[in-house]
């Protein structure tokens, strides 16, 4: 600060300082600015505002339907470009939300810059903590009575023939050489008060956990898709063989291109299972033998996958094998494969009373029109069952498919909140609606594995670990606190020293006062 | 006919579920009694009444623990999945932390605050219709030991912040420096716990989905809450804030806690922005 002031005094900006020098001076001032608390606070406030917006407003995801996402914003901000009215919502959307990309705020460079500024600023501030704690010590009132010092858990006192200024100097240099934080006061009558404290581990811990944010941030940047990380999806049907996850594969997928890797390693789906457990359902319908409806959701979905060598096709070429489940990913070559989702494709045939047949293919969760009958129908993603049924005693058996068909006509017309039930199509029992037969021909199950490569994770974890350990140590390690009072009384100095650990008063009396 | 149906339903009610509800109701009753005894203690300052209030608090906590254990057996997982269960778990955490805090700071203040909060929470959820209290199995994504530690630490921290906020309110009324110190101490307890809760959640997310941070609304709100408390601690430790403004800061932090726990659910539903943490029920 002093240097800058001197510079300014010597060379005011408006007299002979070129633009380059001005910019350079400003750049030199950045670290000084960043190590002030008020800078950190302002960055934090700005960050908090953006974060709040990102928390409340829907944020875009790779997997979601862009139209559906856009519709949410249209609804929230009442956007209607055709009505000619510029509503407040539209104004906010066009002037704030859109330019600042608040719909994907956490992925913007602006947000990253703010996070970096906060992390670096907090780290720089932590270095300055010694100065700040001095201010705090001042609040703790070093001026106390001799009795207070004598009442401390370990204290000593006495008198020595000396001058208070010299004893004070000795005390000061001893405290400095022992790295104490010191606050002192004097009065005109020749009394000096010292209030001191130290805990080296606590101080290092404090700097370490402020540093930890920088580690977390660096790990985050390294793992980000804009730098070294990448992710993508592998969709596999039973018996399918697909390329392993890689940056090239994910770039190709984004561009909707076919991708063939150079290596001969592939991901192979041996089997896919939906497991329904009796313990998770209220019971079994005695007539149909199917579980009573609960959520109709499998308790587990498991993909039995292998990493195989593409060139050969025997048993020996299996490089790795794993039952991939939610919470149990496959890890291969530093890439994790996670059971993310499943996709069931149903093939139905509708037969009219006159024998005419027509087929329809649909996926769970989609609405469609039943051919010939022309009924708007739909399948909820969780109302259909079929896969493996595990009874209470743990035995497993194949459970045939039971597909629940909804009648969506009243729902789409806005007459009901919940879709009506059209009926159930069983694997071998068709559903009959006014003499039309709806039969299930086939179900294709696909497993969707998300692959993620994030080389920043170890650095982030290291930062997180340092953060928690450092924080706990900095909050809970006790200070070593001591007080010293020196009073000139004639030609001698009366002294008293006390602290919350035994060596303090001994050391002061042996090494400092009686020297 | 209607009466018969009702009787039938009551007969059919699983005895374990009946036991769960019964223990919850008894616990609610004892917490309210404990709150009453604690308040009497503050007016009388009678040492025996003080010990009595602590004993009743411990008894209430034990009965609530029993209720949680029965629920655990009934639903097959640690009860913190549904909104109803989170209320139960938070009430229990508040009681537990208050008992520990009472014994360590040798004051009846934490338990008094906890008795009032836990009693009110339990009476509130007691009135919920049975359908909202019904348990459900864990969806596969939630079936992980990381989840257990993640939620346990997060809720224990919420509890610490809740008692601290109670102390702050009392400070603002009474202006007693000891209460100021207590509210600060509870924050220093809850703050690292919330940090740990967030980080354990990140580890779990990395295990389950391959990403440790996804800016899910709940994640973000928890982070903001943590940062607000970081601000509070800096205000106290670095800038020397004490008394009224420190305690108001603490209450702002607790507002963030409540928003993260409950408010966000509401906002998410209003804006159709559910995230991964929206509670069922």
Higher-scoring residue by pLDDT: A81, B43: B43
A376 near A408, Cβ under 8 Å? yes
Q: Which residue, among B154, B203, B210, B256, would best test binding to A if mutated, counting the most A CBs under 10 Å from its CB?
A: B210
Average pLDDT over residues A205-219: 91
Residue B260, pLDDT > 80, answer: yes
Average pLDDT over residues A437-447: 92
A57 near B271, Cβ under 8 Å? yes
Q: What is the pLDDT of residue A311?
A: 64
Burial of B268 (0-12, 13-18, 19+ CB in 10 A): buried
- pLDDT-derived band at B280 (thresholds 50, 70, 90) equals very low
The answer to whether B224 contacts A467, with C-beta atoms less than 8 Å apart, is no
Q: Which residues of chain A does B206 touch, with a Cβ-Cβ cutoff of 8 Å?
A: 457
Q: What is the pLDDT of residue A295?
A: 67
Of residues A57, A279, A468, nearest to B199 (C-beta) = A468
Residue A415, pLDDT > 50, answer: yes
Q: Tell me, what DSSP letter sits at residue B80?
A: -
Supply the mean pLDDT for chain A: 84
Higher-scoring residue by pLDDT: A148, B55: B55
- Give kind and range of the element (H or E) at residue B8: helix B2-12
Higher-scoring residue by pLDDT: A112, B142: A112
Q: Which residues of chain B does A476 touch, with a Cβ-Cβ cutoff of 8 Å?
A: 188
CB of A59 less than 8 A from some CB of B: yes
Residue A7, pLDDT > 80, answer: no
Phi and psi at B104, nearest 5°, equal: -85, -35
A182 near A175, Cβ under 8 Å? yes
Across A75-79, A201-205, A446-450, B239-243, the highest mean pLDDT is recorded for: A446-450
Residue A277, pLDDT > 50, answer: yes
Average pLDDT over residues B82-100: 92
CB of A71 less than 8 A from some CB of B: no
> Can you list the alpha helix ranges (DSSP code H) found in A128-246?
129-139, 146-150, 164-177, 200-223
Q: What is the pLDDT of residue A126?
A: 81
Supply the mean pLDDT for chain B: 86
The answer to whether A467 contacts B195, with C-beta atoms less than 8 Å apart, is yes
Residue A373, pLDDT > 70, answer: yes
Instruction: Provide the percentage of residues in chain A whose pLDDT is more than 70.
Output: 91
The hierarchical CATH code for the domain A129-199+478-513 is: 3.30.310
Residue B168, pLDDT > 50, answer: yes
Residue A335, pLDDT > 80, answer: yes
Q: Where in chain A is the domain with CATH 3.30.310?
A: 129-199+478-513
Residue B279, pLDDT > 80, answer: no
- pLDDT-derived band at B5 (thresholds 50, 70, 90) equals very low
Could you tell me how many residues make up chain B? 281
CB of A472 less than 8 A from some CB of B: yes
CA–CA distance from A496 to each of A152, A191, A488, A509 (Å)?
A: 11, 11, 12, 9
Q: What is the pLDDT of residue B44?
A: 92
Q: Which residues of chain B does A468 touch, with a Cβ-Cβ cutoff of 8 Å?
A: 192, 195-196, 199
Pairing of the two strands A265-277 and A385-390: parallel
- Residue A284 falls in which region: left (phi positive, over 0), alpha (psi -120 to 50) or beta: beta
Give exposure, A283-315, as e/b (b: 16+ Cβ within 10 Å).
eeeeeeebbeeeebbbbbbbbbbbbbeeeeeee
How many contacts does A have with B, using Cβ atoms within 8 A? 110
Q: Distance between CA atoms of A275 and A273, rounded to whole angstroms?
A: 6
Residue B9, pLDDT > 50, answer: no
Average pLDDT over residues A92-101: 90
Average pLDDT over residues A368-384: 84
Q: What is the pLDDT of residue A64?
A: 64
Q: Which two tokens stand for residue A428?
A: 């071998």
A480 near A262, Cβ under 8 Å? no
pLDDT tens digits for A250-269?
A: 888 888 888 888 888 889 99
């Amino acid at each position: 600060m002093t240097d800058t002031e001197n510079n300014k005094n010597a060379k005011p900006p408006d007299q002979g300082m070129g633009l380059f020098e001005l910019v350079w001076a400003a750049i030199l001032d950045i670290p000084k600015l960043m190590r002030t608390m008020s800078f950190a606070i302002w960055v934090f406030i700005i960050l908090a505002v953006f974060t709040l917006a990102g928390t409340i407003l829907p944020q875009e995801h790779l997997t979601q339907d862009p139209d559906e996402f856009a519709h949410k914003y249209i609804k929230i901000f009442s956007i209607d470009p055709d009505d000619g009215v510029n509503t407040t919502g539209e104004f906010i959307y066009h002037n704030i939300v859109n330019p600042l990309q608040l719909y994907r705020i956490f992925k913007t460079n602006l947000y990253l810059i703010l996070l970096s500024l906060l992390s670096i600023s907090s780290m720089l501030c932590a270095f300055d903590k010694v100065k700040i704690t001095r201010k705090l010590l001042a609040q703790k009132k070093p001026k106390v009575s001799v009795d207070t010092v004598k009442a401390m858990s370990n204290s000593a006192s006495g008198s020595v023939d000396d001058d208070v200024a010299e004893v004070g100097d000795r005390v000061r240099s001893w405290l400095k050489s022992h790295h104490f934080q010191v606050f002192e006061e004097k009065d005109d009558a020749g009394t000096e008060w010292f209030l001191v404290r130290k805990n080296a581990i606590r101080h290092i811990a404090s700097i370490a956990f402020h540093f930890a944010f920088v580690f977390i941030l660096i790990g985050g940047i390294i793992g980000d898709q804009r730098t070294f990380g990448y992710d993508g999806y592998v969709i596999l049907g039973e018996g399918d063989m697909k390329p392993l996850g890689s940056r090239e594969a994910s770039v190709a997928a984004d561009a909707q291109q076919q991708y063939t890797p150079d290596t001969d390693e592939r991901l192979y789906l041996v089997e896919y299972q939906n497991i329904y457990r009796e313990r998770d359902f209220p019971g079994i319908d005695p007539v149909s033998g199917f579980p009573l409806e609960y959520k109709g959701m499998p308790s587990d979905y498991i993909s039995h996958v292998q990493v195989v060598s593409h060139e050969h096709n025997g048993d020996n070429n299996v490089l790795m094998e794993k039952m991939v489940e939610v919470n149990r990913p496959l890890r291969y070559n530093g890439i994790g494969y996670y059971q993310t989702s499943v996709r069931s494709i149903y093939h139905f045939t509708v037969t009219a009373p006159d024998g005419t047949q027509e087929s329809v293919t649909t996926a769970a969760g989609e609405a469609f029109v039943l051919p010939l009958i022309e009924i708007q129908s739909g399948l909820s993603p969780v109302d259909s069952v079929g896969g493996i049924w595990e009874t209470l005693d743990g035995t497993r058996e194949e459970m045939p498919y039971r597909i629940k068909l909804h009648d969506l006509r009243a729902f789409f017309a806005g007459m009901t909140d919940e879709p009506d039930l059209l009926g159930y199509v069983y694997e071998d029992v068709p559903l009959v609606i006014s003499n039309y037969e709806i039969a299930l021909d086939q179900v294709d199950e696909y497993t969707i594995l998300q692959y993620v490569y994030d080389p920043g994770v170890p650095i982030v974890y290291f930062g997180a670990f340092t953060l928690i350990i450092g924080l706990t140590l900095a909050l809970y390690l006790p200070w070593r606190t001591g007080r010293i009072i020196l009073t000139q009384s004639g030609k001698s100095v009366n002294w008293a020293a006390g602290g919350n650990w035994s060596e303090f008063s001994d050391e002061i009396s042996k090494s400092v006062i009686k020297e | 006919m209607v009466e018969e149906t009702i009787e039938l339903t009551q007969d059919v009610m699983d005895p374990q579920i009946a036991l769960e509800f019964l223990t919850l109701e008894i616990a609610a009753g004892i917490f309210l009694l404990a709150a009453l005894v604690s308040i009497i203690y503050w007016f009388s300052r009678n040492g025996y009444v003080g010990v009595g209030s602590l004993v009743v608090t411990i008894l209430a906590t034990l009965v609530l623990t029993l209720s949680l254990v029965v629920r655990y057996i009934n639903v097959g997982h640690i009860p913190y999945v549904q909104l109803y269960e989170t209320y139960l778990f938070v009430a229990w955490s508040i009681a537990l932390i208050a008992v520990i805090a009472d014994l360590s700071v040798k004051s009846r203040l934490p338990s008094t605050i906890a008795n009032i909060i836990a009693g009110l929470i339990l009476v509130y959820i007691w009135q919920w219709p049975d359908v909202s209290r019904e348990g459900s199995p864990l969806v596969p994504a939630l079936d992980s030991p990381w989840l257990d530690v993640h939620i346990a630490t997060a809720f224990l921290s919420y509890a610490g912040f809740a008692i601290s906020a109670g102390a702050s309110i009392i400070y603002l009324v009474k202006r007693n420096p000891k209460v100021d110190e207590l509210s600060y101490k509870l924050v220093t307890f809850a703050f690292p716990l919330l940090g740990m809760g967030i980080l354990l959640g990140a580890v779990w997310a990395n295990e389950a989905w391959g990403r440790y941070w996804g800016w899910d609304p709940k994640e973000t709100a928890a982070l903001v809450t943590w940062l607000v408390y970081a601000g509070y601690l800096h205000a106290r430790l670095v800038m020397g804030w004490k008394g009224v403004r420190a305690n108001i800061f603490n209450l702002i932090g607790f507002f963030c806690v409540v928003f993260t726990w409950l408010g966000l659910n509401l906002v998410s539903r209003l804006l159709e922005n559910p995230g991964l943490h929206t509670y069922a029920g």
